[in-house]
Amino acid sequence: MKTQFLHEHHNRQDKARKPDYRGEMIERGRSEPSNITERLNAKVEIKKDTVRRWRKQRFFYGGRVLKLGWPLEHFAKVNALPPAEPSTKKAYDAIRAVAERDMERITTAIMKTGTVRYRRLFGSLTIPYVEWECDGIECGEIKK
């Protein structure tokens, strides 16, 4: 019988040695609950930022490279094409159309079905990111 309650005796000794944490909690108080619309707006901003970052990517299609902000001259220079040729303009328009369609699909996937997650770094530091999936991408590759 004596050994049966020995663990309870040890538990009481441990509690007697530990400082009371409730006083600290009362002093600190509760954090203010954030407004639901503020949280939703923050998530929408995170998704918009993700879309902005994807618009800066390079789209590879048919052995050519294109960023959505490039003019025809820069596209021709990067892909080693003569800028005055009609075939260069035709290739630029075709690749730009494919890249715009892909960007629309990516934007729709991020904004409608994307889920905002938070990656924890170094204790309390969290970094938001968006998880999303997209089918039907026509470009062979999309890179930084």
- The residue ranking higher by pLDDT, 120 or 52, is 52
Assessment of whether the complete model's pTM goes beyond 0.75: no
What sign does the dihedral 69-142-47-118 (CA atoms) show?
negative
How many residues comprise the chain?
A: 144
Q: What would the two tokens of residue 138 be?
A: 């026509």
CB 112 within 8 A of CB 48: no
- The amino acid that residue 31 corresponds to is S
Residue 30, pLDDT above cutoff 60:
no
| pLDDT, tens only, 34-93 | 678 888 888 999 999 999 999 999 999 989 999 999 999 999 999 999 989 999 999 999
Q: DSSP readout, the chain?
A: -TTTTHHHHHHHHHHHHSPPSHHHHHHH-PPPPPPHHHHHHHHHHHHHHHHHHHHTSEEEETTEEEETT--HHHHHHHTT--TT-HHHHHHHHHHHHHHHHHHHHHHHIIIII-EEEEEEETTTEEEEEEE-------SSEEE-
Residue 18, pLDDT above cutoff 80:
no
Per-residue confidence band for 109, with pLDDT thresholds at 50, 70 and 90: very high
Per-residue pLDDT, averaged over 101-130, amounts to 89
pLDDT the model gives residue 34:
66
pLDDT the model gives residue 72:
94
Residue 29, pLDDT above cutoff 70:
no
Residue 133, pLDDT above cutoff 60:
yes
